[in-house]
C-alpha cells in the first residue's frame, strides 16, 4: 500500500508541476512521456520475445533430454545384458575347463588300464608257455576211451 500511496503522491506532484508549466513545455513533456512509454513498451516486447525464445529453447532441450534418457535406458539395459552374457561365458569357460580336466583324467586312467591289460596279456602268454613246458616235462599218461552204442555202464563186453 505504501507503493500505491507513493505513486499517487508522485502523480499529484507531477500534476501540480504540469499546471505550472506552460503549454509548450507540456507538449514537450508529453512527447517525452510518450517516448519513454514507447521505449518501455519496446523494451518489454524485446524481453518478452527473449523469454519466449528461452522457453522454446528450454522445451527443445527437455525433448532432447527425454531422448537421451530413453537412450540411457537402452544403454543401461545393454550393459546389463552384456554383464549377464559375460558371466554366462565365464561359467561356460569354467565348465569347459572342468570337462577338459575330467577328460584328461579319464584318458590317463584309460592309458593306465591299457598298460595293465597289455601286461596281463603278456603274463597270460608267459603262463601258457609255462603250462606247456610243465605238461611236456611231466609226460602225461595216455588213456584210451572207447564208446559203444547202447552200452550202459556196468555192461561191458
Q: Where residue 13 falls among pLDDT bands split at 50, 70, 90?
A: confident
pLDDT at 79 over 90: yes
The residue among 53 and 146 whose pLDDT is bigger is 53
What mean pLDDT is predicted for residues 57-70?
88
The residue among 16 and 81 whose pLDDT is bigger is 81
Q: Where residue 157 falls among pLDDT bands split at 50, 70, 90?
A: low
pLDDT attached to residue 44: 80
The residue among 12 and 82 whose pLDDT is bigger is 82
Query: In the structure grid, which three cell numbers stand for residue 137, read together?
Result: 616235462
pLDDT at 138 over 90: no
Model confidence pTM above 0.75: no
Q: CB of 26 within 8 A of CB of 18?
A: yes
Q: Where residue 19 falls among pLDDT bands split at 50, 70, 90?
A: low
Output the DSSP codes for 78-114: HHHHHHHHHHHHHHHHHHHHHHHHHHHHHHHHHHHHH
pLDDT at 103 over 90: yes
- Gap between the Cα atoms of 121 and 78, Å rounded: 63
Q: Where residue 39 falls among pLDDT bands split at 50, 70, 90?
A: confident
- Arithmetic mean of pLDDT over the chain: 82
What mean pLDDT is predicted for residues 37-47?
78
Domain boundaries, the chain: 2-107
What mean pLDDT is predicted for residues 32-42?
73
Tell me the C-alpha to C-alpha distance, in Å, between residue 79 and each of 23, 73, 75, 82, 83.
81, 10, 6, 5, 6
Amino acid at each position: 500500500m505504501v507503493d500505491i500511496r507513493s505513486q499517487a503522491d508522485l502523480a499529484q506532484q507531477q500534476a501540480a508541476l504540469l499546471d505550472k508549466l506552460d503549454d509548450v513545455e507540456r507538449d514537450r513533456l508529453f512527447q517525452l512521456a510518450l517516448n519513454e512509454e514507447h521505449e518501455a513498451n519496446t523494451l518489454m516486447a524485446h524481453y518478452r520475445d527473449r523469454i519466449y525464445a528461452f522457453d522454446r529453447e528450454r522445451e527443445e532441450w527437455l525433448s532432447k533430454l527425454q531422448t537421451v534418457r530413453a537412450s540411457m535406458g537402452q544403454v543401461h539395459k545393454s550393459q546389463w545384458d552384456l554383464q549377464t552374457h559375460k558371466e554366462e561365458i565365464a561359467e561356460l569357460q569354467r565348465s569347459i575347463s572342468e570337462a577338459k580336466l575330467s577328460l584328461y583324467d579319464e584318458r590317463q586312467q584309460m592309458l593306465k588300464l591299457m598298460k595293465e591289460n597289455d601286461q596281463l596279456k603278456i603274463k597270460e602268454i608267459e603262463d601258457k608257455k609255462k603250462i606247456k613246458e610243465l605238461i611236456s616235462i611231466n609226460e602225461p599218461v595216455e588213456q584210451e576211451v572207447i564208446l559203444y552204442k547202447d552200452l550202459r555202464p556196468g555192461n561191458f563186453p
